[in-house]
Structure 1
Amino acid sequence: MDKQIVFISDIHGNMEAFKNVLKDIERRKISLEDVYCLGDSVGYGTRPDDVINQIKELGITSILGNYDEAVGFYLPTCGCSIESDSDKHKTKNALSWTVKHTSDENKEFLREFEEQITIKAGGKRILLTHASPVSITDYVYEDNTEKQEEIADELEEDMIVFGHTHIPYVKKVKDKLFINAGSVGRPKDGDNRACYCILTIGETVEAEFVRVPYDIEKMAAEIEESELLDSFAMVLRTGRDTK
Structure 2
Amino acid sequence: MGVLKLLKNKATKHTARLVMIMALLAIFSTVLMASYVYRVDIRSYFATAVKDFYFTSNLLTDQENIPTYQISHNWQSNNPATISFELRNYQDPLNASTCDIAYNVKTTPVGSATSGTIIAGGAEGNKKAINLNIPAPQTVAPVEVLVTATATAPYSKILRGKFIITPAISYQLAENADSPLATLEISLAQSTEPTREVTISWPQGAAPDMTNPLVMAAANGGTLDLTSGTLTTTLNTAAVYELIFFKDQAETEYTGVTVSGS
Query: Whose Rg is larger?
Result: 2
TM-score category (smaller protein): under 0.3
Greater helix percent: which structure?
1
Greater strand percent: which structure?
2
* Highest RCO, 1 vs 2 (Cα 8 Å, sep ≥ 6): 1
